[in-house]
Amino acid sequence: MTHLKIRPSCLENLVKQNMAHTSGNVQVQWLLATLLIAMLGGAKAIALCDTESSKLSACYAAVTGQHPPKPSEKCCDVVKHSNLPCLCGYKSILPAFGFNPINALALPRKCGLKTPPECRGNSLMPE
C-alpha cells in the first residue's frame, strides 16, 4: 500500500490557498479532491500522523452532521491508537472536508480518553 504523509501545516495552507483563489486554482482543487477521495476509502491510503486515512474513515459517521451517532467500537480503537496531538493539528481544516470540528474534537472524550491539550483551548472545544 502506498502512503502519502502530509504535515497539518501544508494541508492547511493548501486549503487556505484554495479558498483564497477559488476562481482558478485547479491544481489545488484537484489535490484536495484527491485527498478527500483517498480519505474516504480510495485505493491508496494517506498516512496522517502515522494513522492510515482508511482507518480514520471508521469515524466518519461520528464526525459529520449536527447530531452524529456515538463513535463505533472500531472508531474508538482507531482513536486510541492514533497520535491525537498530531491529528488535532488538522482541526482548522476539518470543515473543508465536511467534518464537524466539534464532533471530531470530542472523539477522544467519547471514546474514554483524555482530550489532549492540542485539541482544547480554542473556540471549538471548551477547556
In terms of phi and psi (left: phi > 0; alpha: psi -120 to 50; beta: otherwise), the region of 57 is: alpha
- CATH code at position 73: 1.10.110.10
**Which residues 6+ apart lie within 8 Å of 122 measured at CB?**
91
Domain-embedded: residue 72: yes
Q: pTM for the full model?
A: 0.61
Residue 70 reports pLDDT greater than 90: yes
Residues of the domain holding 38 = 3-119
pLDDT grade for 36, boundaries at 50, 70 and 90: low
Q: What residue ranges in the chain does DSSP mark as E strands? A: 3-5, 45-48, 51-52
**Which residues 6+ apart lie within 8 Å of 99 measured at CB?**
63, 64
Domain-embedded: residue 10: yes
Domain-embedded: residue 127: no
Q: How far apart are CA 40 and CA 57, in angstroms?
A: 6
Domain-embedded: residue 49: yes
Of 46 and 10, the one with more pLDDT: 46
Identity of the residue numbered 24: G
Indicate the number of domains in the chain: 1
Residue 23 reports pLDDT greater than 50: no
Domain-embedded: residue 124: no
Domain-embedded: residue 86: yes
Domain-embedded: residue 126: no
pLDDT grade for 30, boundaries at 50, 70 and 90: low
Domain-embedded: residue 125: no
Residue 17 reports pLDDT greater than 60: no
**Which residues 6+ apart lie within 8 Å of 19 measured at CB?**
96
Q: Identify the pLDDT of residue 126.
A: 42
